[in-house]
Amino acid sequence: MVMIRIVIILILSFYFLIITGQRAVPVYNFDSFEPILNKKNDTVYLINFWATWCAPCRKELPEIEAIGEKFNDRKFKIILVSLDMSETLNKTLYPFLKNNDIKSEVVVLDDVHSNVWINKVDSSWQGSIPATLIFSKEKRIFIEKPVNFQYLDSLLIKHFNL
C-alpha cells in the first residue's frame, strides 16, 4: 500500500513538473533515505530537516543557501529534507522552492513513523525542526535549533576543515 502511494505521488509530481517546469523532488520513506545519512566518502554533508509551515525553517534557508554558495568548490553537499506532507507538495513545497530560488538539493521525507526514525538520525534529537546534521566520514554534529551563516561557517571551518 505504501509503495502504491509513493508511485502515485511520483506520477502526480512528474505531471506537475511537465506542466510547471519545476524540478523533480524525490519522495523517500526513512528506510530508503537512511543510507544518505551514513555515507562514508570524502564529502562533508549538511542535512537540514525543515518544512514550509515552519517559520524558523523558512528564515534559515537563505543562510544555508549562502553556505552552499561559499563552499560550492569544495567536497560539500547540502540536502534539504522537507517534512511537508507529500499530498501538499504542489500547493506548498514546489511554489516555495521556485519563489525562493532554492538551489540546494531537496528531498521529501514522507514517513509517519517519526518516533522510530528521529533517533536513527541522532539519538539526542527531540523531534523539533529546524534540525541540521553535518557529517563526514570522521565526524557528526547535530544541531536542533535554527542556524545562521556565521555559525555554520565557523563549524564547517573548525570541525570539517572546509
Each residue's pLDDT tens digit, 79-110: 999 999 988 899 999 999 999 999 999 999 99
Greatest Cα pair distance in the chain: 46
The residues with which 45 forms a beta bridge, in sequence order, are 77, 135
What is the span of the domain harbouring residue 106? Answer: 56-162
The per-residue pLDDT for range 13-26, each reduced to its tens digit, is 555 443 344 567 99
Q: Is residue 62 part of a domain?
A: yes
The CATH number of whichever domain residue 90 belongs to comes to 3.40.30.10
Q: Is residue 153 part of a domain?
A: yes
Alpha helices, DSSP H, located in the chain: 2-20, 30-33, 55-70, 93-99, 114-121, 149-160
Q: What is the tally of structural domains in the chain? A: 1
Q: Is residue 13 part of a domain?
A: no
CB 105 within 8 A of CB 80: yes
Q: Is residue 22 part of a domain?
A: no
The residues with which 27 forms a beta bridge, in sequence order, are 108
Three-state secondary structure call for residue 142? strand
